[in-house]
Amino acid sequence: MKKELVSGLPKLWAHHPAERLECPGCQYPVITRIVYDVIDELGVEGKTILINSSACGYGIVLTTSMDAMFPNHGQGIDVATGVKRLLPDCFIISFGGDGDVAAIGAGAFVNAGQRAEKYTLIMVNNGHFAMTGGQLAPTTLMGQVTTTSPEGRGPDMGYPARMPEMIATVQGVAYSARGAANTPANFLKTKKYVKKAFQKQIDNVGFSFVEFLSACPTGWHMTPQESIKWVEEKMIPALPLGEFKDVDTLD
């Protein structure tokens, strides 16, 4: 039987998890670990440059010994473009939040796809701006209470952004998917999405993108268990998991 690592530390994890800065039950470390594992499996650690512009997710650059960058909120996509264009042989991962990618970085997001930039973007969607105190994000669900939608998001505030579906319509995009880690099965499926996205970069096909639905118990004022349930019962029905684009050539 082929073994999949579902517990224990990934090789590229340089510190003990207790040193992490996220809240207990936060899923940022889970996606961080998927990213590390897949980098390890593909053997590209030495040529990887990790670029984080998510806010609560900065542990991804702190917890490893790979080359890393930490630009400001909203800038990880353009910064990754600059790095990849100058170092086309390096393996570039841009790691962002939903505010980061779907709000302030949305123009960069669409245009990186349109220019067929050859790197991978991962967007961690926790449904709000966590670091700044839980404000509405473009991805916030209908009815979801945030500090700037105190009565819940209504139609007057628009509708949740579906980033993988949107970018799948762009010709320069090689791969687009949405995953979650609310169950071991989804964890493993999401890991496959990440691996496929990374492979598109290695094969130099085009822009590759994976959204990750991520529980934020502190920001959502829930216990970790409740927050996982919320991902399952609220987020996944509104933002379905799956692959939206998977091509080997852009023509």
Enumerate binding residues for ligand SF4 (CB under 6 A): 22-23, 26, 28, 56, 126, 130, 216-219
Among 111, 135, 148, 186, binds another protein (CB under 8 A): 111
Among 41, 67, 165, 246, binds another protein (CB under 8 A): 67
Q: What is the DSSP code (8-state) at residue 149?
A: B
Question: In angstroms, what is the minimal distance from the CB of 197 to ligand SF4?
Answer: 22
55 contacts another protein (rule: CB under 8 A) = no
Among 29, 74, 179, 206, binds ligand TPP (CB under 6 A): 74
Q: Which stretch binds ligand TPP (CB under 6 A): 42-50, 92-100, 157-165, 230-238?
A: 92-100
Residue closest to 212 by CA, chosen among 186, 246, 249, 244: 186
Question: In angstroms, what is the minimal distance from the CB of 155 to ligand TPP?
Answer: 22
108 contacts another protein (rule: CB under 8 A) = yes
Alpha-carbon separation of residue 131 from 32, 139, 182, 223 (angstroms)? 17, 15, 22, 18
CB crowding 87-114: b at 16 or more within 10 Å, else e: eeeebbbbbbbbbbbbbbbbebbbbbbe
Type of residue numbered 102: A
Cα(245)–Cα(222) distance, integer angstroms: 34
Q: Which stretch binds ligand TPP (CB under 6 A): 2-10, 50-58, 78-86, 113-121?
A: 50-58
Of 46 and 133, the one with the shorter C-beta distance to ligand TPP is: 133
Full strand arrangement of the beta sheet holding 48-52:
48-52, 91-97, 120-125, 207-213, 173-180, 242-246
Q: What is the DSSP code (8-state) at residue 23?
A: P
Question: In angstroms, what is the minimal distance from the CB of 146 to ligand SF4?
Answer: 12
